[in-house]
Amino acid sequence: MEKLFNLLKDYYDEMVEIRRYLHANPELSFQEVNTPNYIAEYHRALGHEVKEGVGGRGVVATLHGAKPGKTVALRADFDALAIQEQSDLPYKSKVDGVMHACAHDGHTATLLVLAKALNKLQHEIEGSIVFIHQHAEEIAPGGAIEMIKDGCLEGVDVIFGTHLWATEPLGNIMVKEGPIMAASDRIHITVKGQGGHGSDPSNTKDSIVIAAQFITHLQQLVSRRVKSTIPAVVSIGHIEALNPFNVIADSVKMKGTVRTFDETTRTLLEEEIEEVLKASCFLTKADYDYQYFRGYPPVINHEKETAFLVQLAPQVPGVEKLHICEPLMGGEDFAYYLEQIPGVFFFTGAQSPHWEETYPHHHPMFNIDERALLIAANTLGVATLKYLQEH
């Protein structure tokens, strides 16, 4: 392992350079062109077997070790977000309205440079390593599902993935067995009342009043219908009824998000939200439209692989603390890989001890402490080599 750590330490500057290049040149989900080209080129220069356009825009590279053995996959996503960067970093986004505000630039830099280090150890490696560079993690249906259909997991025995996490202190590895990230679904609702003059409400069905009742009653679903020991979230994030001040709204549009960890609660909320909506409309005999879109399933870490990571993480250079965490309500399409094969998804702390203020993921001022890249590479690298040695 010493050799791997030394190589990665030597390549740290390159890792930062790649991350900053990608940060300055972000591309939106399902529109990535230069990023996958850049990734494919990097792997080709290392002599890896490279497949492009996997599941659309993904890149899969394979390093065959000198000796036969199992196959480990490592996954990094590479898409950015529709956010206008507000920082004045020297490497800030050059693309108007597009920003790497979730550290996927860092994930890609980590995996590329780790691939370079592992390549140098090829003569010692027993088995194969598959580098899965995934497009479009940010927007459902996401890139993972299509990459899997296109065969990126064929022959793979185990998968490891990490997310750099700006609200977790540098030096921490954060993980838990079982559900670690939520299923993330979307609801679209239209209340269809009957508009009219603001001075004459008795001749209308006021969609805004109905929507207000609906939103208020919605708060009781998680507190009164979902079992109190089970985590769940229902949030309305968008409400629209664009009328002049003296008009009763004919209709109101709402959009929201639903987060759960198990199929029973997911289905319960899908059905109960409609019941609340129906009841809210009932009093005034208004109508409604209800659509529930299923996003990513929950990310469920496998028992054995999580125990494997928990045991090795404290020995990794740079790791100061192993944080067994609560589940996070965010979504991740890494979930699909873990539905197919064993593996573990963990968080690498990337919050700088020197920051006065930490900006969360998807914030226009978002940034990471780049030293986390080295910790992520060390951890993924050890997990890979140890797994291949032990199996």
Residues carrying an active site annotation: 79, 137
Nearest residue to Ni ion, scored by beta-carbon proximity: 102
> Near Ni ion by CB under 5 A, which window of 94-102, 110-118, 239-247, 301-309?
94-102
Find the shortest distance in angstroms from Cβ 102 to Ni ion: 4
Name the residue nearer to Ni ion (CB basis): 135 or 205: 135
> Near Ni ion by CB under 5 A, which window of 97-105, 269-277, 352-360, 374-382?
97-105
CA–CA dist 344, 299 (Å, integer): 9
Structure tokens at 162: 């990490």
Residue 7 binds Ni ion, judged by CB under 5 A: no
Find the shortest distance in angstroms from Cβ 167 to Ni ion: 12
DSSP 371: H
Q: Which residues lie across from 28 on neighbouring strands?
A: 80
Find the shortest distance in angstroms from Cβ 89 to Ni ion: 19
The count of residues interacting with Ni ion (CB under 5 A) is 1
Name the residue nearer to Ni ion (CB basis): 102 or 144: 102
Do 361 and 95 touch, CB atoms closer than 8 A? no
Q: Which helix (H) or strand (E) holds 52?
A: strand 49-54
Find the shortest distance in angstroms from Cβ 6 to Ni ion: 30
Radius of gyration of the CA atoms of the chain, in A: 24
Q: Could you tell me how many residues make up the chain? A: 391
User: HSE on the CB side for 371, CA within 13 Å?
Assistant: 11
Name the residue nearer to Ni ion (CB basis): 314 or 360: 360
CA–CA dist 265, 261 (Å, integer): 7
> Near Ni ion by CB under 5 A, which window of 89-97, 99-107, 278-286, 336-344?
99-107
CA–CA dist 331, 296 (Å, integer): 7
> Near Ni ion by CB under 5 A, which window of 102-110, 123-131, 252-260, 274-282?
102-110
Residue 102 binds Ni ion, judged by CB under 5 A: yes
Name the residue nearer to Ni ion (CB basis): 63 or 102: 102
CA–CA dist 357, 185 (Å, integer): 31
Find the shortest distance in angstroms from Cβ 47 to Ni ion: 30
For residue 34, the tally of other CB atoms under 10 A from its CB is 11
Name the residue nearer to Ni ion (CB basis): 261 or 334: 334
DSSP 81: B
Structure tokens at 306: 């999580």
Query: Interface with Ni ion by CB under 5 A: which residues?
Result: 102
